[in-house]
Chain A
Amino acid sequence: MKFNLKVWRQKNAQAQGKLVDYTIENIIPDMSFLEMVDVLNDNLVRKGEDPIAFDHDCREGICGMCSMYISGRAHGPHHAATTCQLYMRSFKDGDTIYVEPFRAGAFPIIKDLVTDRSAFDRIIAKGGFVSVNTGQAQDANNLPVDKADAEKAMDAAACIGCGACVAACPNSAAMLFVSAKISQLALLPQGGPERNNRAINMVNQMDEEGFGNCTNIGACEAECPKEIKLTNIARMNREYLVASLINE
């Protein structure tokens, strides 16, 4: 397969970036998008040019490192998939593909397609720590958990923190991510003791990082590779409201 690529190139955080045209041929349809970029980079290196910097790690859709805004969508045109799970057979031969970094003021560009998503880490850190008992393993039923709540918490915990919600949101809001983290712990007894602090501290940190405001557009849910639901945001709104009202 042959593709015309328009890739965002930017030397560093301060430099002015621009879209650069590349043509790539002999791409196997079953290559992942990242493998296609690998081939392109190999070509660039052979020509003595600077390869395209991009984030990637596990390449099996669980780490949340691969980003890229492909043809106008976070992680490309597939539903519930990361960029490493996007295959070139999803495109037509000869397609022009735009490749841009996840764009948000809170995700500054480091180089080319690599963005600094450590704002998410700082939000997580504000959530505090759930202590884990060491020593002898507890009896499995020491802490009863409602099966339905356990399922909801597990669904929320599926969030890999990739930032696609921020990238897809017209407002650059991070509420789907933060709500998944708040929900996961609010639903379980282990997260109970610091539930109110957590809601307030994480939301405050989210606002401090300069993410936009949520207006319930729903693009985040549609683009989330782990299908995190908007109901988590409603739960976060509730958690935050209650915590604010009883906050001493």
Chain B
Amino acid sequence: MQNSVLITSSIGKKLIMGLTGLFLVFFLVVHASINGCIWFNDEGKTFLYYAHFMGTNFLVHIAEVGLFGGLILHMVDGLLLWKQNRDARPVKYAYSNPSANSKWYSRSMGLLGTLILFFLIVHLRNFWGPNRLNQITTGEELNLFQLMQEDFSNLWMVVFYVAACFSLFWHLLHGFKSAFQSLGLNNVKYNKAIEIAGTAFAIIVPLVFALMPISFYFNLVH
């Protein structure tokens, strides 16, 4: 038997993409749940309680390293796929009609992912970065609820966040279902359920995230 090269093989790459993708999907659930606490309208009390836990708990800090690791793996794998798949067709078609057989967002995962990465850099610079920096230098946490109120009073920032949620929507619309296919978790009995769950997740989670800056901008949260 030949040796299998599970990690670097074409199938290994999609396994990594699927596993890290589902891991990031799990993170989105946690992130959306905690941040959704702003809608209790208790001046951010519930939200800050959980934010404090997430910002100071030792195990969460370890998980955070894992999260960045997973994210980097997801991106490196994506870059590798983009490069190899581009090189696999050295001479392009002069005329092609891909919309006849596939969805544009399925073909644009690299582009959508890059847009999400741009958002992520700005997003981390807005909240996570300053908060951690403050923790390291002064030992104090920043009031993230106040920080949100300040940042989301800026219309352009709100527009930027909502636009990023669209990228996330399309990325998830393909990615969620795709992860199950990649992991071989595919059975006619469950395919419909995965399809519905994937579409629902891709709509609900970005919508929840998009509503946060919108709610702050229109002073619906206090």
What's the Cα separation between A135 and B63 when bound, in Å?
64
Please name all residues of chain A whose beta carbon is closer than 8 Å to the beta carbon of B183 when the two chains form the complex: 237, 241
Please name all residues of chain A whose beta carbon is closer than 8 Å to the beta carbon of B101 when the two chains form the complex: 73, 168, 218-219, 222-223
Contact size class for A? 35 or more
**Please, what's the 1-or-0 string for B165-180, where 1 marks a CB less than 8 Å from any CB in chain A?**
0000000001001100
Query: Do A8 and B94 form a contact, CB below 8 Å, given A72-B100, A247-B1?
Result: yes
Please name all residues of chain A whose beta carbon is closer than 8 Å to the beta carbon of B10 when the two chains form the complex: 173, 175, 203, 206-207, 211-214
**Is A172 part of the binding interface, using a Cβ–Cβ cutoff of 8 Å?**
yes
Number of A-B contacts (CB under 8 A): 155
What's the Cα separation between A244 and B87 when bound, in Å?
26
What's the Cα separation between A238 and B13 when bound, in Å?
14
**Please, what's the 1-or-0 string for A148-191, where 1 marks a CB less than 8 Å from any CB in chain B?**
00000000000000000000101111010000000000000000
Q: CB within 8 A of B97: which of A71, A236, A243, A244?
A: A71
What's the Cα separation between A236 and B186 when bound, in Å?
11
Assess the B182–A237 pair: CB atoms within 8 A: yes
Assess the A201–B1 pair: CB atoms within 8 A: yes
What's the Cα separation between A248 and B98 when bound, in Å?
42
Selected interface stretch from A24-32, A37-45, A51-59, A102-110: A102-110
Query: Do A197 and B1 form a contact, CB below 8 Å, given A172-B85, A204-B9?
Result: yes
Closest beta carbon of chain B to A174's beta carbon, Å = 9
Q: CB within 8 A of B93: which of A103, A240, A244, A245?
A: A103
**Is A98 part of the binding interface, using a Cβ–Cβ cutoff of 8 Å?**
yes
What's the Cα separation between A170 and B109 when bound, in Å?
12
Assess the B106–A72 pair: CB atoms within 8 A: no
**Is B2 part of the binding interface, using a Cβ–Cβ cutoff of 8 Å?**
yes
Please name all residues of chain A whose beta carbon is closer than 8 Å to the beta carbon of B90 when the two chains form the complex: 105
Closest beta carbon of chain A to B172's beta carbon, Å = 14
Please name all residues of chain A whose beta carbon is closer than 8 Å to the beta carbon of B135 when the two chains form the complex: none
**Is B139 part of the binding interface, using a Cβ–Cβ cutoff of 8 Å?**
no
**Is B81 part of the binding interface, using a Cβ–Cβ cutoff of 8 Å?**
yes
Q: CB within 8 A of B106: which of A172, A207, A217, A233?
A: A217
Q: CB within 8 A of A214: which of B14, B87, B107?
A: B14
Assess the A217–B102 pair: CB atoms within 8 A: yes
Query: Do A213 and B81 form a contact, CB below 8 Å, given A72-B93, A204-B9, A237-B11?
Result: yes
Closest beta carbon of chain B to A14's beta carbon, Å = 13
Shortest Cβ distance from A19 into B: residue: B94
**Is A216 part of the binding interface, using a Cβ–Cβ cutoff of 8 Å?**
yes
Q: CB within 8 A of B102: which of A77, A203, A218, A234?
A: A218
Shortest Cβ distance from A179 into B: residue: B11
Please name all residues of chain B whose beta carbon is closer than 8 Å to the beta carbon of A100 when the two chains form the complex: 93-95
**Is B62 part of the binding interface, using a Cβ–Cβ cutoff of 8 Å?**
no
Shortest Cβ distance from A10 into B: residue: B91
Query: Do A211 and B182 form a contact, CB below 8 Å, given A219-B101, A236-B11?
Result: no
**Is B6 part of the binding interface, using a Cβ–Cβ cutoff of 8 Å?**
yes
Assess the A104–B88 pair: CB atoms within 8 A: yes
What's the Cα separation between A117 and B28 when bound, in Å?
44
What's the Cα separation between A158 and B145 when bound, in Å?
60
**Is B138 part of the binding interface, using a Cβ–Cβ cutoff of 8 Å?**
no
What's the Cα separation between A231 and B185 when bound, in Å?
10
- Among A17, A197, A238, find the residue whose CB has the most chain B CB atoms closer than 10 A: A238
Closest beta carbon of chain B to A10's beta carbon, Å = 9
Query: Do A106 and B95 form a contact, CB below 8 Å, given A200-B2, A214-B10, A216-B178?
Result: no
A94-131, CB < 8 A from B: 98, 100, 103-106
**Interface, chain B (partner A; CB < 8 A):** 1-6, 9-15, 17, 81, 84-85, 87-98, 100-103, 106-107, 109, 174, 177-178, 181-186, 188
The 5 closest A-B pairs by CB, nearest first: A72-B97, A238-B184, A234-B186, A212-B88, A222-B101
**Interface, chain A (partner B; CB < 8 A):** 6, 8, 17, 19, 69, 71-73, 77, 98, 100, 103-106, 168, 170-173, 175, 196-197, 200-201, 203-204, 206-207, 210-219, 222-223, 230-231, 233-241, 243-245, 247-248
21 A-B pairs with CB atoms under 8 Å apart are A6-B94, A17-B91, A72-B100, A103-B93, A104-B88, A196-B1, A203-B4, A203-B9, A204-B5, A207-B9, A214-B14, A217-B106, A218-B101, A218-B106, A219-B98, A234-B186, A235-B186, A237-B181, A241-B11, A241-B184, A245-B6
